[in-house]
Structure 1
Amino acid sequence: MHYVSSGEGQPVILIHGLFGNLDNLKNLANALEENHQVIRVDLPNHGKSKHWQHMDYPSLADECVKLLHKLNLTEAHFVGHSMGGKVAMALALIHPEMVTSLVVADIAPVAYSPRHQKVFAGLTSMPMEQVSSRKFALDHLTNADIDIGTSQFLLKNLQRTDNGFEWKMNLEGLIENYSHIIGWDIPDSVYPKPCFFIRGGESEYVLAEHSKAIMKQFPKVSAKTINGTGHWLHAQKPEIFNRLVVEFINKQSS
């Protein structure tokens, strides 16, 4: 996995969500790196990491293990948003000895119904050979009924080449593996260490009905809701989100 490291101290690994990259949690990294080594990663099929035709949470957790070995680390704190939260949870459940503590942002250890069909339709219908500018691509996505904020986020995956524009992400691989991404295939393990779930008050990703599933696999959980935020809580109220994460990790590091 491609990664960027900054700061010194107990290591913290930050994992982005679907369609994201290592810059998504850079603001949090800035808040953590005063006292920690912070490693931000591009998950496979995202950013500058390798493209996979098959990805599921056990294989993504294994990729985190390889990263720890590469960095000569035996364990680290893990923070994951959305799909990245599922990756971090999977690692904590499969290799709890490698996860000092866990922060999960706006996702639960459950299978979700499909909710990205409109996004995939907008991305796959993009006439890449006709894309002459980011404005052209933005107009295409908004005309596909994707809101402006989501469209701008998706276009962080668009890069200029000598021959025009192309996607950094492996769009075909993400579509092919979407059932694994929204699924949850690690149902029987328990992570016995402290973990912190943070949800957006206006998000539909972590609901009261998910509490039982969270408690079953993460019995030492604490939780917080950030009111006035949706799924992108770390971007909508970064000061509150960063403070909560830093306080939790510092407490586990002392």
Structure 2
Amino acid sequence: MKFKVYKNEKQLKNEEFYLNDQKLILIFHGLFGRAKNWHSIALRISSIFDGTIIVFDLRNHGENEPSTEISYSIMVNDVYEFIKKKNINKFSIIGHSMGGKLGMLFTLLYPQFVKQLFVVDIAPVDYPREEIEIVDHLLKIDVKNCKSRKDVDVKLSNYINDKELRSFLLQNLNFNNGIYSWSLDLNTIKMGMKDLRGFPIDLISNVSQYRYLLYFWRK
């Protein structure tokens, strides 16, 4: 997984240097999000938090290479493999939307690693099909033949009236060698949407009870 690291109101270039910090916060973005979305928030948190903040690009989002699968269980494994590789033993989690569900599932499956869990604007329940419709709208747009970001926005406005939502989605536009593309693997996300809309209760049916500190925020 690609990630960005923040400490003392700075984004670090040498990401490996602070990974052994005893005070860590891991941040998981929401569906259609990316680590870049959290840049200003991570800087603000790092101004009052005496430790290191790691913001991830989750599977099939941001700067990650495309993958043929996406689900909460797979993303939990991505996080687990990361912390084991980096020898990280204890941390807090901030998770927004899809990232909040990921944080909840990780905490339930691996409570020994988690100090605190902060869940923003999501609950462990099934949600409507709105996100599937958004994926379909994005897939309808031939961004490769668009001449500008505004051109993409105009085409997207035929399907989505909400200007703020369009602006958020357009943050996933890449522009390389004169060609636009999505940083999202939309086809894989669409195939995994049933899992992403819900919450894998079956994975935690045999989980032992642990006590941990959990915070919920709703906009």
Structure-1-length-normalised TM-score: 0.74
State whether structure 2 residue 193 is matched by structure 1 residue 193: no
State whether structure 2 residue 66 is matched by structure 1 residue 47: no
Post-superposition Cα deviations, 1:201-223, rounded to whole Å, max 9, x if no partner, equal xxxxxxxxxxxxxxxxxxxxxxx
* Among 137, 140, 143, the residue aligned to 2:158: 143
**Alpha-carbon spacing, 1:164–1:196, altered in 2? closer, same or farther (3 Å):** same
2:30 alignment partner in structure 1: 17
CA distance in 1, matches of 2:183, 2:161: 20
Superposition map of 1:191-230 within 5 A: 191-200=210-219
Post-superposition Cα deviations, 1:112-132, rounded to whole Å, max 9, x if no partner, equal 231224312320110223211
2:195 alignment partner in structure 1: 180
Contact 1:3/1:41, CA 8 A, preserved across alignment: yes
Post-superposition Cα deviations, 1:58-113, rounded to whole Å, max 9, x if no partner, equal 11111111121232211210000000001111100100001111000010011223
- Which residue identity does 2:116 align to in structure 1? S
CA distance in 2, matches of 1:81, 1:62: 18
* Among 120, 128, 131, the residue aligned to 1:113: 128
Contact 2:132/2:193, CA 8 A, preserved across alignment: no
State whether structure 2 residue 39 is matched by structure 1 residue 30: no
- Which residue identity does 2:211 align to in structure 1? P
Contact 1:92/1:191, CA 8 A, preserved across alignment: no
Name the stretch that deviates more: 116-125 or 178-187.
Answer: 116-125
CA distance in 1, matches of 2:153, 2:200: 35
Structure-2-length-normalised TM-score: 0.86
Local SS of the residue matching 1:40:
strand
Deviation at 1:28, TM superposition (A): 2.5
Q: Equivalent pairs: percent with the same residue?
A: 28
Runs (4+) of structure 1 exceeding 6 A deviation are none
Post-superposition Cα deviations, 1:115-158, rounded to whole Å, max 9, x if no partner, equal 22431232011022321100000001112134111111111111
CA distance in 2, matches of 1:177, 1:98: 27
* Among 63, 67, 71, the residue aligned to 2:82: 67
**Alpha-carbon spacing, 1:108–1:47, altered in 2? closer, same or farther (3 Å):** same
Deviation at 1:174, TM superposition (A): 0.5
Deviation at 1:49, TM superposition (A): 1.5
Contact 1:96/1:191, CA 8 A, preserved across alignment: yes
Aligned residues: 200
CA distance in 1, matches of 2:120, 2:33: 14
CA distance in 2, matches of 1:192, 1:24: 31
Q: Which runs of 5+ in 2 are unaligned?
A: 8-17
Task: Kindly indicate whether structure 1 or structure 2 has the higher relative contact order, using CA contacts under 8 Å at least 6 residues apart.
Answer: 2
